[in-house]
Chains A and B, each alone.
Chain A
Amino acid sequence: MIEWLLIVVDIVSWILLIIGSICVLIGGIGVLRMPDFYSRIHAASLTDTMATLALFSGMILQAGFSLAAAKLFAIMLFLLLTGPTATYALANSALLSGHKPKAAVLEKKVE
């Protein structure tokens, strides 16, 4: 019974690791395909977020119930907390330096 469970955990963790790797790849492709700076950030955030989540969940499952798993979880948390801050710094400084986004502006909520 326990062996079966271990095999299932192994399979799930491999699926997560593969999903994470694919997300990194797609993020890279997206950065190349997108037309301008601001839309490239969106593609990069796929690598930033989804890949981090999937890869670290996969690694935590591989580590099992141990101190290493707790450390991996903490690293994932810190990456997810600092990633958006870095993205914000990048996007905000581009905006403040006068790089105008080519985007439609959605006006007030339709009541």
Chain B
Amino acid sequence: MQPRRSQCLPSPQRGAATPANLFIFLVVLVLAWLLWSGIYKPVVLGLGVFSCLLTLFLARRMVFFAQSSELLSMIRRLPGYWLLLVKDIIVSSWNVTKIVLAPKLVIQPTMVDTDGAKLGEMGQTILGNSITLSPGTVTLDIDDGRLLVHCLLKKDAMALKQDDIVDRIKALES
């Protein structure tokens, strides 16, 4: 259960970015920026070009392109996942609201180890963020596919042990 200091350095380039990858990404960035800004003065445009290039550089440095195809294939299934997640969030928000407003504060802080080893890196990120997003559960540490989760109620910890959410993300990934 002892948390280990995880590696901060980017892992070696697995799928290096092809020029086509970089170009498509840049076009998407520029289009998004033009749509968002709506002001077409030289100074503002210059800043836009600068921020697009900076984003491209950072994305490449983060080894974003090694996972971009995985992400693209996921996009179709994301809205359905979001709907389920929003439903979960509403239910757990209601539970936390009841705890906070109860005259007598009753909490059962519980830690639980969730196994996300069967998910890829992207899946583990989504799992950790989804857990943190729902009120009442917070991811404390991710290490070797194991997620250390702090829960406000024992009930939530038990639910996490059932692996429902892991299976849901597995379906999202494949």
Contacts and interface: CB of A to CB of B under 8 A. Distances in A.
Interface stretch (A7-15, A41-49, A58-66): A41-49
Contacts of A38: 109, 138, 140, 150
A106 B129 contact: no
B141 A92 contact: yes
Interface in A25-61: 26, 29-30, 33-36, 38-39, 41-43, 45-46, 48-50, 53
B111 A30 contact: no
A33 B105 contact: yes
Contacts of B162: 109
B126 to A, nearest CB: 10
A104 interface: yes
A87 to B, nearest CB: 5
Q: State which size class the interface on B falls in.
A: 35 or more
B112 to A, nearest CB: 4
Please classify the interface of chain A as helix (H, G, I), strand (E, B), loop, or mixed, using the class held by over half of its residues.
helix
Interface of B: 1, 3, 5, 35-36, 86, 89-90, 93, 96-97, 99-101, 105, 107-113, 128-130, 132-141, 148, 150, 152, 154, 157-158, 161-162
Contacts of B148: 95
A51 to B, nearest CB: 9
Interface string A80-111: 11011101100110011000011111100100
Q: State which size class the interface on A falls in.
A: 35 or more
A84 B141 CA distance: 13
A38 B136 CA distance: 10
Name, among B89, B109, B134, B141, the residue most crowded by chain A CB atoms within 10 Å (CB to CB).
Answer: B109
Contact of A103 (B96, B139, B150): B150
B30 to A, nearest CB: 16
A103 B132 CA distance: 17
B138 A105 contact: no
